[in-house]
Structure 1
Amino acid sequence: MSQMTISSRIGRITPARPGGSVRARAVDAAPVSTSNGFRLLCVLLVALTFTAVLLLNTVRAEGSYVLSSLEVEATALHDEKVTLADELESKGSSESLARAATKLKMVPSTSTATLRLSDGSITGVASKVDGSRTLTVDLPSTGTALAKDD
């Protein structure tokens, strides 16, 4: 330790008084000045830090809650998509379509007419199943179908 530190801790010795008594007086090394502004600044910084951490944790928890609910909703929607895809596939199968046609008293066609979209040409002649009535398609210029009875 330096001489200054030791002397400030022990105190300074005052010169002897006329009567022979020597009095030692203790002197405090740290100045006694209160800095309330600095203390207030430190307390304010600590309070702001704790508030920021609390807000960040709250936002994070809210985000986690929202993410969890969205994952549940996504799972439910995926299950519904799979169910609807299976239902569509089963209703679109040839057996299902044949059953639905039979319920509507439909019978398979024996002849068909087709329309080629690229050039508008018509091929074939569509007719009723019993053969009593033939449906002939007119040229594409009029766009109307004509029913002809034989």
Structure 2
Amino acid sequence: MCAKFIVFTKRRELSFVVCLMLFLFGCTETIYLYPPDKSQCITVITKKWNAHRYIIAGKHHTVPENNFVKLDIDSGDRYRAGLYVCWKSGHYEWEVVVHKAEIVESTLDTTRFSFSTALPKDDRGFSTALKFTKEWCELYDFELKRIISDREGTIVEFK
């Protein structure tokens, strides 16, 4: 009787651990964005269980110690559902905007990469995404899980 109880207890603990692992790791989404020539990469890791999204310079499987921006995605604001990117923008390797995002932490190398939480303004002071309709620029929609564009450009890979 005692042996059966020990086996049952171990199975239950094992089941709990397996379920916990599936919950924690199953709620993480990793996306890789590349320019058309694949010369660069932006990794986006979304941890749904703690409502954080990481925008990372380079290709990574986990969040590195530096060169990332950590965002709070707890709000249901639809503006936060998009990532605007321009590759080789001015003197930056890439420029990214997540409009109205809340930055929790940033360790991004700002001499090489640009990250903003506000779209550029037009002459009237209204936010505009016009800049991101140019060549080498795109909008990635997190809800639709695709690039919003009529032309072929940014390459998206899912882990």
- Give the number of the structure whose residues are more often helix, by fraction: 1
Normalising by the residue count of structure 2, what TM-score does the alignment of the two structures yield?
0.24
- Give the number of the structure whose residues are more often strand, by fraction: 2
Normalising by the residue count of structure 1, what TM-score does the alignment of the two structures yield?
0.26
